[in-house]
Amino acid sequence: MELRTLRYFVAVAEELHFGRAAARLHMSQPPLSRAIRRLEAEIGAALFDRSSAGVALTPAGAVLLDEARALLDHADRARVRVATAAGAATLTVGLLGDSTDPGVTRLAGAYRRRHPHVEIRVRETDLTDPTCGLSAGLVDVALTRGPFDGTGLTVRELRADPVGALLRTDDPLAGRASLRLADLADRHWFRFPAGTDPRWQAYWNGARPREGPVVRAVQECRQAVLWNGTVGVTLLDHEPGAGLTVVPLVDMEPSRVVLAWPEGDPNPLVRSFVGAAIAAYRG
């Protein structure tokens, strides 16, 4: 069994959908399906039940998934050890500003336990650069939020978080159980500077042009609401701070935590980081 084929298998097993797995692997579906068929023939057992209802792992597939993850993890660790011996054991990670996500804490601990001799350099950026320097080649991997222009990047979703409208506690809408974007149509919103990734800007502005103060950091967003009565979008479970409240937005897509790295086979440190991140956010 080739490691590449096992990576294909793990992608299908985790997605339980050949189309989504192919998109994740940046390949078309037919060669992915052929690779899985060859693997099944090599093993001598069906790995997936395929039906009109979807794709499910067979008992043999469930066993192989555990074994494949262990083998791939071992291979990644071997690559990292070689990189360490070669003096290339430094990884630069980009993080979006105000990163208090418990998933980051779990990931940092897990990666440190895996690779105690790897030096992690962290580049934390403000809200004007959702790729955290990755597009500019300043970091090796970014732990951030979408959406943004992913040209030349591989992007893997880790989690989806519901969002809400950030308001002053004395705002007329603050007592509502929920809101729709139309309820905020005539209000000023905080905005990001000109030149910010348009997909990113459009998401946080509810997919339409807005008027209001320009901000760069999370704390500036909060202050814009507190001092000006501006509205904006924030994570539903974030503590807004004194004088502020968050009301759920029922017609807005969740904010997605994503991992991004350059397209192609990543260096062993990045590959191991990706595996650790998936495990940390799965937990």
pLDDT at 256: 95
212 and 231 both lie in a single domain: yes
Taking only the tens place, the pLDDT of each residue in 245-269 is: 999 999 999 999 999 999 876 678 8
* Per-residue pLDDT at 89 exceeds 80: no
Here the CATH number for the domain that contains residue 235 is 3.40.190.10
56 and 96 both lie in a single domain: no
Two tokens at 1? 């069994």
Pairing outcome for strands 90-96 and 141-145: parallel
Share of residues in the chain with pLDDT > 90 (%):
61
107 and 120 both lie in a single domain: yes
82 and 142 both lie in a single domain: no
Question: Which residues, 6 or more positions from 160, have their beta carbon under 8 angstroms from its beta carbon?
Answer: 254, 255, 256, 257
- As a whole number, mean pLDDT of residues 94-119 equals 85
Taking only the tens place, the pLDDT of each residue in 13-72 is: 988 999 888 888 878 899 999 999 999 999 999 999 988 888 899 999 999 999 998 888
* Per-residue pLDDT at 103 exceeds 70: yes
25 and 63 both lie in a single domain: yes
186 and 229 both lie in a single domain: yes
* Per-residue pLDDT at 87 exceeds 60: no
169 and 240 both lie in a single domain: yes
pLDDT at 23: 82
* Per-residue pLDDT at 152 exceeds 80: yes
**From the CB of residue 33, how many other CB atoms can be counted at a distance below 10 Å?**
16
Place of tokens 């103060």: 213
Does this model's pTM top 0.75? My answer is no
Taking only the tens place, the pLDDT of each residue in 206-241 is: 988 899 999 999 889 999 999 999 999 999 988 888
Here the CATH number for the domain that contains residue 72 is 1.10.10.10
Domain that holds residue 173: 163-253
3-state secondary structure the chain: CCHHHHHHHHHHHHHCCHHHHHHHHCCCHHHHHHHHHHHHHHHCCCCEEEECCEEEECHHHHHHHHHHHHHHHHHHHHHHHHHHHCCCCEEEEEEECCCCCHHHHHHHHHHHHHCCCCEEEEEEECCCCCCCCCCCCCCCEEEEECCCCCCCEEEEEEEEECEEEEEECCCCCCCCCCECHHHHCCCCECECCCCCCHHHHHHHCCCCCCCCCECCCHHHHHHHHHHHCCEEEEECCCCCCCCEEEEEECCCCCEEEEEEEECCCCCHHHHHHHHHHHHHHHC
280 and 145 both lie in a single domain: yes
pLDDT at 266: 66
**From the CB of residue 157, how many other CB atoms can be counted at a distance below 10 Å?**
12
Two tokens at 35? 């690779």
232 and 281 both lie in a single domain: no
138 and 123 both lie in a single domain: yes
Taking only the tens place, the pLDDT of each residue in 187-197 is: 999 999 989 99
Domain boundary among 64, 86, 108: 86
Q: How does residue 283 score in pLDDT terms, banded at 50, 70 and 90?
A: low
Number of domains in the chain: 3
pLDDT at 85: 66
Average pLDDT value for the chain: 89
170 and 235 both lie in a single domain: yes
Who has greater pLDDT, 159 or 267? 159
pLDDT at 4: 87
pLDDT at 241: 87
Distance CA 53, CA 108 (A): 38
- As a whole number, mean pLDDT of residues 176-202 equals 94
Who has greater pLDDT, 141 or 78? 141
109 and 229 both lie in a single domain: no
pLDDT at 265: 61
